[in-house]
Structure 1
């Protein structure tokens, strides 16, 4: 069910241009296979709300909380991210999340873990059009390989529903394989020391 009283007016508050879509393209840098959403009604639905900017108002795709109003996302990236801004589109009702808590580089957090202090916290406003952006502390979120998003409460509903989460920022490819390559190249490679006569023989066999 789409948000009540939905209109496209709010979109005008955001600069509608190809650049806007590019700015919110970090969804493509998420390791979706390992993304976790805790307390979702439908398994795997949490992954679906990280989608292209032009699909943000597709209200047929959403995640809804199960046992209570809490939702928790563990979001690994395929490299390092400088996170600059976040958009949260929810229902125009009391099921819209009212608070968002962010934790940096703490993989596989649970509801027990989020009792600790977050790296940043926001009081959210009802936004069913994607017209509001929450700016992060860039110094804090300048090198993020894993982001945890905790939505502890909503505006009074029995469950929380989210249609879209947009992440804006810069992406840098990870360099985790550099050491492996160096170690490999440090070993003697027998093929580099082939006897030319051996190669001649192999050609003759072929």
Structure 2
């Protein structure tokens, strides 16, 4: 759907910052190489979840993105090939009313879909600012140590019928796992007949632990 583009990036969250590193590899603790890109799953999305897992030099590329399908909700589950300790989430979305209202994070959920959200307590959540840049959202590192996967829930857009995501990345540290269990992909594509928009999720989730 057509949308207008802002020439600036708003700052609507106190946890929101930007990283303007211009090198091809990006920050030294960029975890792109530790993401199991073949097994990234996007639910209620019009494309493959791996589309938005890009190397640093492609983070601003708007030629590739995914968009929510049946409504404006979306879940992205991102597994890692190692044990990671996360310090920041990187997002490029929108850029205007297709920007998600917020992002809600869950960690180490082997099976996670829309039916699970009401029963799960999120680890952290952020209001997402509109803009064309990549936003950096600082994570509570104590809550995101020894992470094998991250699930991102986008409960609604900022006014559009769909939500659009261009890029997801992470900053942090990693160590090799002592033993590697096989990764099971439970649903590679959302079954839209089964998906009903979760009502009351705008502020209705359990509060993350302090």
Give the TM-score range, shorter chain: 0.7 to 0.9
1:138 to 133, 137, 141: 141
- Decide whether the 8 Å contact of 1:3 with 1:90 is kept in 2: no
Determine the structure 1 residue equivalent to 2:33.
28
Query: Any runs of at least 4 consecutive aligned residues in structure 1 with deviations exceeding 3 A, and if so which?
Result: 5-8, 17-20
- Decide whether the 8 Å contact of 1:74 with 1:107 is kept in 2: no
Instruction: Determine whether 1:121 maps to 2:125.
Output: yes
Alignment: residue pair count: 171
1:158 to 156, 161, 167: 161
Question: How far apart are 1:30 and its partner, in Å?
Answer: 1.2
Q: Deviations over 1:129-158 (max 9, x none)?
A: 11x311111001011011111111110110
Provide closer, same or farther for how the CA distance between residues 113 and 58 of structure 1 changes in structure 2, counting only shifts above 3 A. same
Determine helix, strand or coil for the equivalent of 1:22: coil
Provide closer, same or farther for how the CA distance between residues 171 and 51 of structure 1 changes in structure 2, counting only shifts above 3 A. same
Distance 2:169 2:101 in 1: 17
- Decide whether the 8 Å contact of 1:80 with 1:171 is kept in 2: yes
Determine the structure 1 residue equivalent to 2:101.
98
The structure carrying a bigger helix percent of its residues is 1
Provide closer, same or farther for how the CA distance between residues 63 and 24 of structure 1 changes in structure 2, counting only shifts above 3 A. farther
Provide closer, same or farther for how the CA distance between residues 40 and 172 of structure 1 changes in structure 2, counting only shifts above 3 A. same
Question: How far apart are 1:107 and its partner, in Å?
Answer: 1.4
Distance 2:44 2:143 in 1: 27
Q: Give 1 or 2 for the bigger CA radius of gyration.
A: 1
Q: Deviations over 1:104-128 (max 9, x none)?
A: 1111200011122211111111132
- Decide whether the 8 Å contact of 1:83 with 1:167 is kept in 2: yes
- Decide whether the 8 Å contact of 1:24 with 1:166 is kept in 2: no
- Decide whether the 8 Å contact of 1:102 with 1:120 is kept in 2: yes
Q: Can you give the 5+ residue segments of structure 1 that lack an aligned partner in the other structure? A: 178-206
Distance 2:5 2:131 in 1: 11
Within-5 A mapping of 1:1-206: 4-6=5-7, 14-18=19-23, 21-23=26-28, 25-42=30-47, 44=48, 46-115=49-118, 116-130=120-134, 132-176=135-179
